[in-house]
Amino acid sequence: MATVVRTERLTKDFATGFWRPRPHRALDALSFDIPAGGVYGLLGPNGAGKSTTLKLLVGLLWPTSGRAEVLGRPAGDTGAHQRLGFLPEHPTFYDQLTAEELLMYFAGLFGFAGQERRTRATRVLDRVGLGADRRRPLRQYSKGMIQRVGLAQALVNDPEFVMLDEPMSGLDPIGRREVRDLILHLRDEGRTVLFSSHILSDAELLCSNVGILDRGRLVASGTVAELAASTGEGGRGWEVVVTSLPQAVADRLAPRVRRVTKIAEGRYSLELGPDVHPEPLIAELAVAGAALVSVSTLRTTLEDAFINVISPGPKAPGARPQGQG
Amino acid sequence: MAAQRIGLVAWHVFKESVRDRVLYAIGAFALLLVASSLLIGQITAGQDVKIIKDLGLTTIELAGVLMTVFIGVGLVAREIERRSIHSLLAKPLPRWEFIVGKYFGLLLTVTVNVAAMAAALYLMLAWMDWTSLPNIRRSWDAPATDVRLLISVLLIYAELALLTAIALFFSTFSSSALWSVVFTVGLYIAGLESEDLRNFGDIVDAPVMAHVVSAIGWVVPAFSSFDVKAQVVHGVHIPAGYVIHMLLYAIFYIGVALLAAVTIFSRREFK
Amino acid sequence: MSGRARLGASLLGIVVGLAAAAETLHGREKAYPLPVPSQHLLYLRSNRIASRMMLSFKSVAADVYWIRAIQHYGLERKSLRTTDRFDLLQPLLDLTTTLDPRFNIAYRFGAIFLSLDPPNGPGRIDQAIALLKKGLAYNPNRWQYAHDIGFIEYWYAGDYTAAAGWFERAAEIPGAPDWIRPLAAVTLARGGDRQGARTMLEELRGSEEKYIRDAADRSLAQLRALDDLDQLQGMVDEYFNRRQSYPASMTELMHTFGIAGVPSDPARVPYAYDPATHTFTLGPASPLSPLPKIVQKTPAPKK
């Protein structure tokens, strides 16, 4: 199957307010496709609608209008669930069970029988690094461990398509690297991965395709390279770092360079646009007594693209009426 | 396939409830009530066996109600509140199977508990019988280990099966576990008064009011009609037809509650 | 099935299920009505224990038992039993008033219906008076209870002296209205007179309680019936005077006096004439039966 996910003008309104419910549009006519194989990153600031999109795809929410298809079936069709895995936004499970019991329960729901349930549970728990703790009740797990259980239960059925809602949340840097490696492995195994995040550096390293959401709208989509190139600022330039530069000289440079950043006393980072040649400038700086630390080319990053497309709005951080990712 | 999944959900519910500490609190309460019945026997002289039967059956019923409401509501409404249901619904588990599975799991819990308490009651009655003098035994309305008590236990069980379905129903749509408890208890109390509600017309003159209240009395689950404790305790005969009708009633109403629960739950969203 | 159709089918299923359940319940109630052993209603026979066990819920418990008392009365009235009727009325009322000694309507209403003669009540004047005395003991300022005892003595027991004594006592209680004291005098002087009875009943018709007003209305209707019966009896005697024989039927008597139709009591039930004893009585189905004994005039001696 060529397309794992297809949405057509997918729209979701939530009713907010108690006395006179006003609809709050969480997703607005979202249309995008996710091709099979590869990693798709759904990015956006907090409250953009990332979690809402994933929940619509897995059938926890129903669309107000528009359509969504997952693995060839309408979103929410439990037939498609046989071949997909889902990590929810705030994973919580059943405190009284052990990790192994939970995984075996879920494996049973997929139709696996008897011994195979235990085999799969053990295998997938080992894969996320919880093999040793699998007989302890979930009540005793830390947040990071619960996150790993979440990953494990998303993989217990060897899914074709894995959906991860903020998979890095709650993990320390080591954990995050492990999850990144896991996602790459999944891709290498031929699976399709969709994950949502507001951490762009992860997306840059992992994603073949990316979609950026802002307040319910898909404002940009494509490969990472395409998006980075689209910022249109020419995409190249220079960064020159010097020390022992007198303040007066730095101030005089301001109109000729794109940006002057003071790192410490005497230490400056100068950004030059692509139309400015660095060599004469460096010579000037040397005459003024500065010592050169480094010269490097600038690549516009996904972050630049992101900031470009996300409209600055009168929104305070985290001021959403309902918490949606 | 569906049966296997339903069975899995049910078994999981049962396992969870067994490990739920609320269960042991209720068990302790039941034990306390039963122990105090031995004390209360002193106040109403010569009526000990009746008192113990009465209190024993009441304890089974009351403990069953508490268990149904708190564990039943807890297991579903809390699951929704805490969002542990999110990962479950991403599995190939249709929503109706979830509801039916939950129901049978809760029912299994109730069954085990009612059976255990009934056995304990019979043991106590057997001990009473064994330690009583023959002339005291002759004064009893009915034998201590009267088999007919089981009729009451059976009807209590049917009552609890119905209450479980209702608790499940309220869990599926109310926004918090607390509200589910409130609604379930409220409907239970209304059900205890259903006979009075139905006879409202005899007491009150205003015809419109009487009809409205009467209608409510017919729709509300008739929990009071499952109560034959007073009869069996005195050895009064309960016709088989009575029991069969009430079981049939319970089955119909349970069907209604589950159908309603499935209907609501299938359309429900989870944020 | 589309979503809409599925929803419709579910709703239909729910309605059908509820109807089936209600039908089953109704069928069971008709086919297997459950005998309720009397002790069940009371459960706690000892008032002392009831009082202690109810703790802070005494008032509510009193309300519950009061409602049970009303239900018991209502059901007993419709019941076809001939023995032990209303047997729980006094215990229920006693329990109610022990749990809440200031339950005014339980005393007054309870006393009225304890006094009513069968088939409308148990006819237990002693219990009624005991209940009201209990009310007086807890609430000495309630002149209404003393007045009610007086009325019961007058109307049901026919003991005018006792009645007058109670009316006097009621008049002594601060707050009693002015018309109580003359009532005592009237009772003594004209005891056994229908006019005196009428006066008292007219007073009661002004009561705040509907049950008391209804009881007074009924009693007044009974008095009118007694007057009617006296008049009819007078007609029989007149017939005898004229014909030296008694009428064979009511129609014949009416015809003789040129009266069309059949005389009926205030409840619109025709009176009955017994040719054998040549006396008129209330029709057998009359709701005014039985007539109070105390104010019947003795029939005129036959010539």
> From the list C6, C25, C34, which residue is nearest B249 (CB)?
C25
Structure token pair of residue B115: 């059976």
Please check whether residues A75 and A188 belong to one and the same domain.
Answer: yes
Average pLDDT over residues C247-252: 85
Gap between the Cα atoms of C158 and A277, Å rounded: 130
CB atoms A79 and B89 under 8 Å = no
Question: Which residue does chain C place closest to B198, by CA atoms?
Answer: C26
A299, A204 contact by CB (below 8 A): no
Mutant choice from B36, B246, B263 vs C, greatest count of C C-beta within 10 A: B263
> C119 with C189, same domain?
yes
Chain B CB within 8 Å of residue A322 CB: yes
Structural domain range at position C162: 39-205
Q: Does B86 touch chain A (CB under 8 A)?
A: yes
Q: Euclidean distance between the first and final Cα of chain C, in Å? A: 95
Q: Which of A14, A153, A322 sits opposite B87 (nearest CB)?
A: A153
d(CA B33, CA C153): 49
Tokens 């054998």 map to which residue? C276
Does residue C20 form part of some domain? Answer: no
Say which DSSP state C264 is in.
B
- The answer to whether the Cβ–Cβ distance between A108 and B4 falls below 8 Å is yes
B240-267 and B149-173 helices cross at what angle (nearest 10)?
Answer: 10
Residue A127 covered by a domain: yes
Indicate whether A316 belongs to any domain: no
- Rounded to whole angstroms, what are the CA distances from C188 to B12, C166, C297? 84, 12, 18
Residue C205's Cβ-count burial label (10 Å; 0-12, 13-18, 19+) is: middle
Under DSSP, the state recorded for A135 is T
User: What is the three-class DSSP state of A238?
Assistant: strand
Whether residue B73 contacts residue B180, with contact meaning beta carbons closer than 8 Å, is answered with: yes
Whether residue A242 sits in one domain with residue A210: no
Flag if B259 and C28 touch (Cβ within 8 Å): no
Subunits next to B (3 or more Cβ pairs <8 Å) are A, C
Place of tokens 């498609």: A80
Number of helices and strands in chain A (H, E): 11, 14
Identify whether residues A187 and A248 lie together within a single domain.
no
The residue type of A215 is: R
Residue C181 and residue C251 in one domain? no
CA pair distance B34, B128, nearest whole angstrom: 13
Interchain proximity B271–A322, CB inside 8 Å:
yes
Q: Do B61 and B121 touch, CB atoms closer than 8 A?
A: no
Query: Which of C18, C24, C37 is the closest to B248 by Cβ?
Result: C24
> Which amino acid is located at B268 in the chain?
R
State whether C61 and C115 are in the same domain: yes
CB A14 within 8 A of CB A177: no
Q: What is the pLDDT of residue C39?
A: 46
Check whether residue C226 and residue C131 sit in a common domain: no
Residue C244 shares a structural domain with residue C164: no
* For residue C119, cis peptide bond before it (omega within 30 degrees of 0): yes
Q: Report CB contact under 8 Å: C37, B253.
A: no
pLDDT for position B81: 82
pLDDT of residue C74: 78
C270 shares a domain with C134? no
CATH of the domain at C84: 1.25.40.10
* C123 to B70, C84, C245: CA distances (angstroms): 50, 12, 39
Q: Which chains touch C (3 or more CB pairs under 8 A)?
A: B
Helix A99-109 and helix B2-19, axial crossing angle in degrees, nearest 10: 160
Packing angle of the helix pair B240-267, C3-31 (nearest 10 deg) = 160
Asked if residue A211 lies in contact with residue A10, where contact means CB atoms within 8 angstroms, the answer is no
Question: Per the structure block, which two tokens stand in for A101?
Answer: 């019991």
Query: Domain check: are A266 and A221 in the same one?
Result: no
> C268 — phi, psi (to 5°)?
65, 25
pLDDT tens per residue, range A85-133: 999 988 988 888 899 999 999 999 999 988 999 999 999 999 998 989 8
Provide the β-strand partners of residue A39.
A193
Q: Does B205 touch chain C (CB under 8 A)?
A: no
Q: What confidence tens digit (pLDDT) does each residue in C42-87 have?
A: 555 556 555 555 555 677 778 878 888 887 887 777 766 666 778 8
* Residue A223 and residue A167 share a domain: yes
Identify the H or E element spanning B49: helix B48-67
**Co-location of A9 and A47 in the same domain:** yes
What band does C297 get if pLDDT is binned at 50, 70 and 90? very low
Q: Which residues of chain B have pLDDT under 70?
A: 21, 33-34, 37-48, 139, 201-205
Q: Which residues on chain C are in Cβ contact (under 8 Å) with B259?
A: 10, 13-14, 17
> Domain total for chain A?
2
On whether both C190 and C229 belong to a single domain, the answer is no
For the stretch C217-249, pLDDT in tens is: 888 888 888 888 888 888 888 888 888 888 888
Task: Answer whether residue C301 shows pLDDT above 70.
Answer: no
Q: Strands A267-272 and A291-297: what pairing? A: unpaired
Number of H helices, E strands in chain B: 15, 0
Residue A44 CB burial class (10 angstroms; 0-12, 13-18, ≥19): buried
Residues in chain C closer than 8 A to B222 (CB atoms) = 25
Cα–Cα distance for residue pair A258/A280, rounded to 1 Å: 16
C262 and chain B in contact, CB less than 8 A: no
pLDDT recorded at residue C299: 37
Cβ separation B263–C70 shorter than 8 A:
no
pLDDT number for residue C71: 79
Number of other CB atoms surrounding residue C155 within 10 Å: 20
Report chain C's C-alpha Rg in angstroms.
26
Residue C77 lies in a domain: yes
Q: Is A46 within the bounds of a domain?
A: yes
- Are residues C44 and C127 both part of a single domain? yes
The two structure tokens encoding residue B262? 């499935």
| DSSP notation for A38-67 | EEEEEE-STTSSHHHHHHHHHTSS--SEEE
- Clarify whether residues A16 and A87 are in a common domain: yes
pLDDT tens string C7-53: 888 999 999 999 999 888 888 888 877 765 544 455 555 565 555 55
A203 and A258 inside one domain: no
Q: Say yes or no for a CB contact (<8 Å) between C25 and B218.
A: yes
What is the pLDDT at residue A188? 93
Amino acid B34 reads V
- In terms of C-beta density within 10 A (0-12 exposed, 13-18 middle, 19 or more buried), how is residue A143 classed? exposed
Q: Are strands A267-272 and A259-264 parallel, antiparallel or unpaired?
A: antiparallel
The whole-chain average pLDDT of chain C stands at 80
Phi and psi for A43 in degrees, rounded to 5? -115, 160
pLDDT of residue A311: 67
Question: How far are the Cα atoms of A253, A282, A283, A285 from residue A288, in angstroms, in the given order?
Answer: 12, 10, 9, 5
Please state the three-class secondary structure of C172-210 as a single string: HCCCCCCCHHHHHHHHHHHCCCHHHHHHHHHHHCCCCCH
Cα A125 from Cα A133, distance rounded (Å) = 9
Instruction: Tell me the one-letter amino acid at A264.
Output: A
- Kind of pairing between the strands at A192-197 and A38-43: parallel
Q: B99 is written with which tokens?
A: 């509801």
Residue C177 pLDDT greater than 90, yes or no: no
C238, part of any domain: yes
Write the Ramachandran bin of A9: left for phi over 0, alpha for psi from -120 to 50, otherwise beta.
Answer: left
Q: How close does chain B come to A268, measured CA to CA in Å?
A: 48
CA angle A98, A100, A104 (to 5 degrees): 120
Which among C10, C20, C67 has the least Cβ separation from residue B252? C20
Q: Are A210 and A203 in contact (CB under 8 A)?
A: yes
Tokens of C101: 């000694």
For residues C66 and C120, membership in a common domain is answered with: yes
Is residue C213 assigned to a domain? no
CATH of the domain at A270: 3.30.70
How many CB atoms sit inside 10 A of residue C80's CB? 5
- Burial of C88-120, coded b for 16+ CB within 10 Å and e otherwise, reads bbbbbbbbbbbbbbebeebbbbbbbbbbbbeeb
pLDDT of residue A226: 79
Both structure tokens of A110: 């997929």
Whether chain B has a CB inside 8 Å of the CB on A48: the answer is no
Contact B87 A96 (CB under 8 A): no
Question: Do C61 and C195 sit in the same domain of this protein?
Answer: yes
- Do both C138 and C178 map to the same domain? yes
A225 and A126 in a common domain:
yes
Structural domain that includes position A270:
238-298
Q: From the centroid of its chain, how far is CA C193?
A: 22
Residues of chain B contacting A58 with CB distance shorter than 8 Å: 89-90
Inter-axis angle of helices B2-19 and B95-131, nearest 10: 50
CA atoms within 13 A on the CB side of B54: 19
**Residues 217 to 236 of A: which have CB under 8 A from any B CB?**
none
Q: Are both C185 and C48 inside the same structural domain?
A: yes
Same domain, A162 and A270: no
Q: What pLDDT is stored for residue C56 in this prediction?
A: 58
Q: The CATH number of the domain where A212 resides is what?
A: 3.40.50.300
| Closest Cα in chain A to B86 | A88
Number of domains within chain C: 2
Length of chain B: 271
Residue C170 tokens, joined: 């009621």
Is A108's CB within 8 Å of B8's CB? yes
Contact B110, B68 (CB under 8 A): yes
C8 close contact with B: CB closer than 8 A: no
| B139: its two tokens | 């004064």
Print pLDDT tens along chain A (325 aa).
Answer: 578 899 999 999 888 777 777 888 889 999 999 999 889 999 988 888 899 999 999 999 999 999 999 998 999 888 899 999 999 988 988 888 899 999 999 999 999 988 999 999 999 999 998 989 889 999 899 988 999 999 999 999 999 999 999 998 878 888 888 899 999 999 999 999 999 988 887 888 889 899 999 888 888 888 887 776 665 555 567 888 888 888 888 888 778 788 888 888 888 888 887 777 788 888 888 888 888 888 887 766 777 777 777 766 554 444 444 434 3
